[in-house]
Amino acid sequence: MEILFFLSALFAEVIGTIAGFGSSTILLPLALFYFDFTTALALVAFFHLFGNLSRVGFFKGGLDKNTIIKFGIPSVIFSIIGALLVSYISQDLLKGILGVFLLVYSLIFLWKDTIRIKENFFSTFLGGSLSGFLAGLIGTGGALRGAFLTSFNLPKEKYIATSAFIAIVVDATRIPAYLKEGFLQSSNSWYLLALFPIAVVGSFLGKRIVEKVPQKSFKKVVLVAILLISIQLIYTGL
């Protein structure tokens, strides 16, 4: 069981690095085969943190400080709110709603790739707030964050590094809330020792693949990833 879970984590991190998000979205439903929801949420949150620390290290030259501040601050605030509401709101309903939104979004942008959301205070605040809230609540806010950041047409290195840094700050705020609620039992803590090197290796492999993807094709790769994640979310919600 542990081997399958760790292989799933490696696969999730490689794909997550290529798309700039998604390791938790991919790994969380797989982790539910081995753990209850709250334990899976906590373990995947730690893995997500480890993976994003690795991505920032590998893509550190691409950090966009302006986007980090405007997008990251509302993400942190609403992540805490979402984490505190985990026990009170239907997870499946939210996943279904998020899935429908991302499905429509990805299809529109794949159909007309010249569409661009203007990067201003409103769009960054809205994107940061919604993605942070969903990250705290259902552990899958990265797809929505990716949807907003991709529409800003950031270069691929800047997109991955900036998204990863924002995710680190969000994870650092929601994880203490999970621990306070007792989501991670001491008997499961040893998984963290294995998940850290897996996250580093997965990020490195993903980086090597990203280097070979042309900038023009990169946005489509991310949009296809968002499309696939949206289908998974809708299926889970139903």
User: What is the band of 201 on the pLDDT scale with cuts at 50, 70, 90?
Assistant: very high
In angstroms, rounded to a whole number, what is the distance separating the alpha carbons of residues 111 and 132? 27
pTM of structure = 0.80
Segment 85-107 shows an average pLDDT of 80
151 pLDDT above the threshold of 90? no
208 pLDDT above the threshold of 90? yes
pLDDT score recorded for residue 218: 84
Express as a percent the part of the chain with pLDDT over 90.
Answer: 25
Kindly compute the dihedral angle of the four CA atoms of residues 75, 80, 83, 87, in this order, to the nearest 10 degrees: -130
pLDDT score recorded for residue 114: 64
pLDDT score recorded for residue 52: 93
